[in-house]
Amino acid sequence: MELYNLKHPAERVNFAEAVRRGLGQDQGLFFPTEIPRLNLDDAFWQGDFVHRAQRVLGAWLNDELGEETVNALVRDAFNFPLPLVPVEANQHCLELFHGPTLAFKDFGARFLARTLSLVAQDAPMTILTATSGDTGAAVADAFYGLPNIQVVVLYPDGGISELQEKLFCTLGGNVHTLKVSGSFDDCQGMVKAAFSDAPLKAQFGLTSANSINIARLLAQTVYYFEALAQLPAEQRQQAVFAVPSGNFGNLTAGLLAKAMGAPIRRFVAATNSNDTVPRYLKSGQWQPGPVHATLSNAMDVTSPNNWPRVEALFAHEGWPLAELAGERVSEAETQARLKAMHQVGYLSEPHAAVASEALVRQLEPGEVGVFLGTAHPAKFQGAVEAVLTLTLPLPPALAAVQEKAVLSEALPAEAEALKAMLRARL
């Protein structure tokens, strides 16, 4: 597989190097030079999830890593179910939260951890990432205890739920967590600054594990095919996907799946009131405003880092950007949607509710809607309990960490503070 840097198209790397480096020169995102087209025969749709995922990821990676290696990586990484659950007459939720940390990030993080240890060539490595909630838990879980790898996770103080914090800030060992007095965008800025410091990057073998890493993105393409496989065959050509979006990694993965041949009719990019993209799609003006705190706080992002890839994909495929719908969903609408789903017997959480509401607005006759369920409702226990006035039982993975002590270190929102921390601790 060959990739190029979107900022410096002459910079070309193979998959292993793109995974190790995360970002190219000047923090340019890596993007594939070619997108493989899949042969979606009956055997593809009739096989099981692991078999399908092997076909999808094999199309990208078999030439570089070998079919047996890719098959083993896939089998090992994706060992949990992902049911497509009917919610209402024409809406289904693709539940991506049945992995070890109860969020869709488990797909990308588990595949990345396994790929990275495969391509690391025994060099010591530091995974440096910012999280708005779920990435931290998924990355920490996926890399915890791996030899030769340190993990450093930044998160905004007060910007994630208490349970999310417990899930990844109580591990210790090779996992270092930093509570930053700033926003998620500040955390992303600090990570970027560390990556652009070449000596620092070389000294600690810095690499990213957030959705800018191409391995995570490729891993996420598999579940779009899975949703289609679980739909009745006669509905497979009518699917519209609503994607709850913050950094737009999930949407990028869906678009890659479509470019590979997944018969997806169209996508709806659903955001909360941090609506840089829906406004841009309507006005053509890119105007990120200040960050608003919302119930769907993992999507409180106004400068989405994967957006250049979305535009590159539309250009690569010759699709007009006007084909992408954008919907901004307010807090009141999110709450009303959560209640409406609960009334028909489906318990959800704010991120998925944003996407579900976008589908309600967008779905046309003859279409079938799928929204992504990106996190288990219990991960947003406080918000869900307050909106629905009920008590949520904790699933075992969360109950187990509830009593543990948070081990995070506090840090001001300054790039230099992060660099000093790395030098002192690693």
Ligand X SMILES: Cc1ncc(COP(=O)(O)O)c(C=O)c1O
* Residue type at 395 in one-letter notation: P
Is the Cβ of residue 61 or residue 299 nearer to ligand X in the bound state? 299
Buried/exposed 149-178: b ≥16 CB within 10 Å, e otherwise: bbbbbbbbbebbbebbbbbbbbbeebbbbb
298 is a site residue for ligand X (CB under 6 A) = yes
Residues 317-356 that bind ligand X (CB under 6 A): 351
**Candidates 8-16, 152-160, 226-234, 244-252 — which segment interacts with ligand X by CB under 6 A?**
244-252
Tally of CA atoms within 13 A in the half-sphere of 77 that contains its CB: 35
**To the nearest whole angstrom, how small is the minimum distance from the Cβ of residue 133 to ligand X?**
5
Of 216, 227, 224, which is closest to residue 261 (Cα–Cα)?
A: 224
**To the nearest whole angstrom, how small is the minimum distance from the Cβ of residue 66 to ligand X?**
29
**To the nearest whole angstrom, how small is the minimum distance from the Cβ of residue 249 to ligand X?**
3
244 is a site residue for ligand X (CB under 6 A) = yes
Residues 199-218 that bind ligand X (CB under 6 A): 211
294 is a site residue for ligand X (CB under 6 A) = no
Size of the site for ligand X (CB under 6 A): 18
**To the nearest whole angstrom, how small is the minimum distance from the Cβ of residue 260 to ligand X?**
18
* Helical spans, DSSP H, in 67-150: 67-77, 105-119, 134-143
| 101 contacts: CB under 8 Å, gap ≥ 6 | 134, 137, 138, 141, 167, 168, 397
Cα–Cα distance between 361 and 321 in angstroms, integer?
19
**3-class DSSP assignment, residue 47:** coil
Token pair of 321 as six digits: 């950007």
**To the nearest whole angstrom, how small is the minimum distance from the Cβ of residue 86 to ligand X?**
21
Beta-bridge mates of residue 32: 3
| 69 contacts: CB under 8 Å, gap ≥ 6 | 118
**To the nearest whole angstrom, how small is the minimum distance from the Cβ of residue 67 to ligand X?**
29
Residue whose tokens read 């793109």? 18
Is the Cβ of residue 40 or residue 291 nearer to ligand X in the bound state? 291
Q: Which of 1, 56, 187, 375 lies at the binding interface for ligand X (CB under 6 A)?
A: 375
Q: Which of 374, 401, 408, 422 lies at the binding interface for ligand X (CB under 6 A)?
A: 374
| 285 contacts: CB under 8 Å, gap ≥ 6 | 279
**To the nearest whole angstrom, how small is the minimum distance from the Cβ of residue 247 to ligand X?**
3
Is the Cβ of residue 97 or residue 195 nearer to ligand X in the bound state? 97
Q: Which of 71, 245, 294, 356 lies at the binding interface for ligand X (CB under 6 A)?
A: 245
**To the nearest whole angstrom, how small is the minimum distance from the Cβ of residue 372 to ligand X?**
8
177 is a site residue for ligand X (CB under 6 A) = no
Token pair of 236 as six digits: 């497979």
Residues 124-163: x/- map of binding to ligand X (CB under 6 A)? --------xxxx----------------------------
Cα–Cα distance between 379 and 323 in angstroms, integer?
33
Interface residues with ligand X (CB under 6 A) are 103, 132-135, 211, 244-250, 298-299, 351, 374-375
